[in-house]
Structure 1
């Protein structure tokens, strides 16, 4: 949901605007109807990432950095 607020009415309402963002509402700050900025809620990651969870499951070939052959570059392989 999005709410547009004129900047003249925001001076004493910052706590209310921040509360709206916490609830998931995007707040657009406007001056005489022209959008100037917006306050958006931060999306927090659902899960904590685990270092080395898939260690050893991916590999890089020894010729990874080697120049491509002309056939490969042109899509003829």
Structure 2
């Protein structure tokens, strides 16, 4: 469901009810969607940090100065 701001002001309670039911509610300005109204109880997709844990054996220290050999490879 998409509605322009002026209409959304007048129908805010209806839009909130629709979002609570799980409907996607977009509020537009000049016909372009600018805001998505979501229920506070909506479940968001799980985001897991460390999904590739153990896949990388070591991470280089990019702040450590380069060795003379590494510098010569760049030249």
Report the CA distance between 1:8 and its aligned residue: 1.4
Q: Distance in 1 between matches of 2:42 and 2:26?
A: 18
CA distances 1:44-64 after superposition (whole Å, capped 9, x unpaired) = 5xxxxxxxxxxxxxxxxxxxx
Alpha-carbon distance in structure 2 between the residues aligned to 1:43 and 1:37: 16
Aligned to 1:22: 20
The offset of 1:43, in angstroms, is 2.2
What residue ranges of structure 2 are gaps of 5+ in the alignment?
44-56, 59-75
Question: What's the TM-score, normalizing by structure 2?
Answer: 0.50
Matched residues, number: 44
Residue aligning to 1:5: 3
Which structure shows the higher helix fraction? 2
Q: TM-score, normalised by structure 1?
A: 0.49
Deviating 4+ runs (over 2 angstroms): 41-44
* Corresponding residue number in structure 1 for 2:36: 38
Provide structure 1 residue ranges, at least 5 long, that are not aligned to the other structure. Answer: 45-72
Q: Give the CA RMSD over aligned residues.
A: 1.8
Cα deviation, 1:21-62, whole Å, max 9, x if unaligned, reads 111101110011111111013325xxxxxxxxxxxxxxxxxx
